[in-house]
Structure 1
Amino acid sequence: MIVRIMGEGQVRLDDSHLTELNELDDELLAETKSGDEEGFRRTLGALLDAVRRLGVPLPDDSLEPSELILPASEATLSEVREMLNDDGLIPG
C-alpha cells in the first residue's frame, strides 16, 4: 500500500500493519468527533510516527498513486474532521 503524508511524501507500507494503524485511526476518529484537541494532537502524531516507522520512504522523484492520504502533522482538528468519513482515515 502506498501512503502519502501531506507535505512530506510517500511511503510503501505492508498491509500487515493495518491493524495497528486502524487502532490509532479509531482513536483519532473518536477524538475528532468529541473535539478532544489534546487527544487529537497526541493520536495524530502517533499515527504519523507509526507510518514513518513502519513504512519505507519512496524517492522524492517517485509519484505513485496513493491508496491512503494522511494529513500533515500540523493539520488542525477541523481540517482533519473535513477529511474523515464515518470510518476514519484508514479504510477498514
Structure 2
Amino acid sequence: MIVRIMGEGQVKLEDAHLTELNKLDDELLAEMENGDDAGFRATLTALLDAVRRFGTPLPDDALEPSELILPSPESTLEEVQELLSDDGLIPG
C-alpha cells in the first residue's frame, strides 16, 4: 500500500501493519468525537510516527498513486475531521 503524509511524501507500507495502525486510528477517532485536542495531537503524532517507522520512503520523484492520504502533523482537529470517512483515516 502506498501512503502519503501530506507535506512529507509517500511511503510503501505492508498490509501486515494495518492492524496496529487501525488501533491508533480508532483512538484518534474517539478523541476527535470527544473533542480531546491533547489526546488527538498525541495520537496523530503516534500514528504518523508508526507509518514512518513501518514504511519504506519512496523517492521524491516517484509518482505512485496513493491508496491512503494522512494529514500532516500540524493538521488541526477540524482539518482532520474533513478527511474522515466512516472508517476513520484508515479503512478497515
Q: Over aligned residue pairs, what C-alpha RMSD do you find?
A: 0.5
Whole-Å separation in 2 of the counterparts to 1:54 and 1:7: 18
Residue 69 of structure 1 aligns to a residue whose secondary structure is strand
Q: Trace 1:48-63 onto structure 2 (pairs within 5 A).
A: 48-63=48-63
Normalised to the residue count of structure 1, the TM-score between the two structures is: 0.98
1:18 is displaced (CA, Å) by 0.2
- Unaligned ranges ≥5, structure 2: none
- Displaced runs of 4+ in structure 1, greater than 6 A? none
Residue 5 (structure 1) aligns with: 5
Deviations along 1:33-91, one digit per CA (max 9) or x if unpaired, are 11100000000000000000000000000010000000000000000011112210001
Query: 2:77 aligned with 1:67, yes or no?
Result: no
Normalised to the residue count of structure 2, the TM-score between the two structures is: 0.98
Whole-Å separation in 2 of the counterparts to 1:86 and 1:24: 15
Residue 39 of structure 1 aligns to a residue whose secondary structure is helix
- Unaligned ranges ≥5, structure 1: none
